[in-house]
Structure 1
């Protein structure tokens, strides 16, 4: 994963300190590209343990067109918890303790962290148990799954992933194998506007490659997940279309390290990368839309220990 470590070094050496939406502050560069040859191994971070189960279950959630947090909670996947929770605690119906700036406060204040954990647990239980509550406060709005599988039009909706697969099977040389998550008419209704906004597939010599444009990239916490997620997507689409995997090209817009992640990044840079693992798929005649996490596995993964850092919401 030297490409990722080179990105971290580039930002530390060339980045500009900027303010951001969360109030945390970042060091940032604009415009950066990485390329991963998927024939040489699955690009799951080895300089810190990265939770592949969370990456895979989130991607499958997207591919099924789901946008409700209930599914991820039941999968024990907390990736989107904070954004659903924020919608709840900023609503007029919420009457509990003040949760303003809960992400940073829970790191600095142990007493508040206990209260926050209790409120989050109560929120997640209610999403799972209360259908009405889940529909209102577990739904994250028209985020990735909605845009990928049911892009709204005046006449109905467009299933971009099915069209992508059909196009790859029937006209592999087309330059229009594109899926967009950035829908200007619905961005304001999303819990989080899409960071990975658009991707394009390309076929050459029987190999499927993908280029992602990511407008905003949280380099320490988010980017390792994004790399592995889209690498997995390439494998799944390639399997569906009878192709081999090629390259994953990751193009970043605002690539930033949060100022409260600086020590974690430096610790990661001090570690030596290890051999990449391999990905195994067990489709058994299934469509990718019917696959579960049990159909996907990683072999030979031997990472350094995980490094914790607060998420900026």
Structure 2
């Protein structure tokens, strides 16, 4: 079994066996039919990937190009305008897109907005790369998508809200913090795309890959996802695929979808899971 499939299987089993229901609460999320979307959760779950293989599931198809498109929208385009997603037929944000075809001051907006740091006008992404190159020993390599002054102007509060980068002995480590993680739909997407981001940043800054770690503060499975996930984790996995990234790219702003290839990705069919909104 591939490492990603094994980690995912253990995570799903842990939640199903030890998770805590929220059925006594007035939950925010609902299904399309208007009924409450209850979940079972484990609190403060940590999962880590050694990055010796690509962390993408094979027990179902993960739409990897859509995952990279969302990543590029956030970290390269650095905008909340959904035009880029529309151009590339990515529909994952449709439930949270406002009448102006954007998601408010969330995600890409926070990454792209001008900030003054040490007397220099920059943005969070460019500042991170500059500091990784020129001040690698720092323990302040942090990107935050949680601006408390602008939360009420976001269509959805950021779920993956913070990440920290650490350089040790020539390796670049990434820790991703999620306040909330939908294990059925969001988690497989998030794990793969942050692996891709780590590969991008490591290439630009000249470091080898360290580990990728996710801290999942509320790791949950929606009630209507439980039966499909129980079936999914019984499937035999395939070997992990290979991932190619264009070695010629040395500037974060130059990456496009054509600079990535997922090679020999064998997988079971896609799974249709209802979206809680």
- Is TM > 0.5 for Structure 1 vs Structure 2? yes
- Aligned position for 2:33: none
- Cα distance in 2 for partners of 1:156, 1:239 equals 24
> In terms of Rg, which structure is larger?
1
Mapping of residues 127-276 of structure 1, within 5 Å: 137-150=100-113, 158-276=122-240
What do the CA deviations read for 1:63-119 (whole angstroms, capped 9, x no partner)? 1212111210111111111111xx34xxxxxxxxxxxxxxxxxxxxxxxxxxxxxxx
Unaligned runs of 5+ in 1: 89-136
Q: Is the 8 A contact 1:283 1:291 kept in 2?
A: no
> TM-score, length-normalised on structure 1?
0.80
Tell me, yes or no, if structure 1 residue 71 matches structure 2 residue 84. Answer: yes
Report the secondary structure of 1:197's partner residue.
Answer: strand
Q: Equivalents in 1 of 2:28, 2:162: separation in Å? A: 22
**Scaled by the length of structure 2, what TM-score is found?**
0.90
> Which of 42, 57, 63 is residue 51 of structure 1 equivalent to?
63
Structure 1 segments (4+ residues) deviating >6 Å = none
Shift of 1:5: 1.2
| Selected match of 1:17 from 17, 21, 29 | 21
Distance 2:85 2:172 in 1: 29
Task: Identify the structure with the greater helix proportion.
Answer: 1
Residues 182, 198 of structure 1: 8 Å contact kept? yes
Quote the Cα distance in structure 2 between the aligned partners of 1:303 and 1:61: 26
State the SS of the aligned residue for 1:73: helix
User: Does the alignment pair 1:303 with 2:267?
Assistant: yes
For structure 2, the 5+ residue unaligned runs are 30-35
Shift of 1:272: 2.1
